[in-house]
Amino acid sequence: MKVGYARVSSVDGSQETGLDTQVQILKKNGCEKIFKEMKSGTTTTGRNKLRECLDFVREGDELVITRIDRLARSVLDLQLIIKELTEKGVDLVATE
């Protein structure tokens, strides 16, 4: 199953168009389920939709994002997410 994750930093709605654009791209890339979040990507702390997404994906799934910085801003956070996905047998794909 292709699972999408979309994130924008702003919670005030000013970046909602960016979120909609990401969702459209994810749908065009075949994502059947998409997790959307309006939260800073500086850390993974408090990013509940990211946690839901990582808990949801299963072996053989593909996690699709539009850009790496939508998933993590920190190299350490990115490494930990990739490690978790790898251990679960989930592929990570960025459209850009």
Token pair listed for 29: 């890339």
Rounded Cα gap, residues 32 and 23, in angstroms: 11
For residue 78, the SS3 value is helix
Token pair listed for 65: 């994002």
Residues marked active site are found at 9
Residues recorded for the chain: 96
Residue 31 DSSP class: -
